[in-house]
Structure 1
Amino acid sequence: MNGFKKFLFRGNLVELAVAVVVGAAFSGLVTAFVNSFIGPLIALVGGKPDFSDLAFTVNGTKFPYGGFLTALISFLIMAVVIYFLVVLPVAKLLERLIKAEEATERPCPHCLSDIPIKATRCKFCTSDLATAPTP
């Protein structure tokens, strides 16, 4: 029973549960956006946003490929929306934040280990760094 308590109260499990709940809520948001805005745009261009009535028949067996086609198009549209409205802006924001942080270390020119910018001798390979530090 003690091991089960440790499992339940580990940080990773709680973080994972929160991520699943937030992901489910975000999924609903993206689905609503696609259905409200992107689907009607496809209907304007293609004539209909739903292809579920498409099918073909072989020897009396019906293959309704339209449902798969609709799901595939919805998936691709959601992936594009998530990439351009979430992933790309967050990546740009993180890039700006990383650039804003001042560098505190530089690579040693001899062993390529990270050393403090003001160091005059590498603590790993003990090479003399009398030359001016590289930015």
Structure 2
Amino acid sequence: MTSVSSLESVDKPVLRAYLVLRIAFTIVPIIAGIDQFTNKLAEWDMYLAPVATRILPVSARTFMMLAGAAEIVAGLITAFAPRIGGWIVAIWLWLIIINLLAAQGFYDTALRDLGLSLGAVALALLGAGFHRKSLEARPAQTENRS
């Protein structure tokens, strides 16, 4: 995790934007993933392209539950390693977009997911920058203890 002391030199608006993205891309995938087991927010199976249901070795319901588990894991990775989790969420969203375009009729949702994926990329890039800053700050902290 990025230490608070390494972030003190970062502009406050940049830090706030990073924290908003980090929280959002942690919580939203976890909530969506959990809901794929309960179907309280949406009937997730309807978003699976017919071509996918024909070629999958499991039922649409089973696949969506596996996808839900993957989304929960992606959210947890984002919580602890946003520079990695951001890329995982972005790639996951791009795969969802491909599925939505193949399903036809979900173009608005595909466009929304494209916007979300760009936010996830921004989080990954900011996370990499903050991670680098925290690594650069560590030797100085060690030297000060001597």
TM-score (norm 2): 0.28
Greater helix share, structure number: 2
Asked which structure has the greater RCO (Cα within 8 Å, sep 6+), the reply is 2
TM-score (norm 1): 0.29
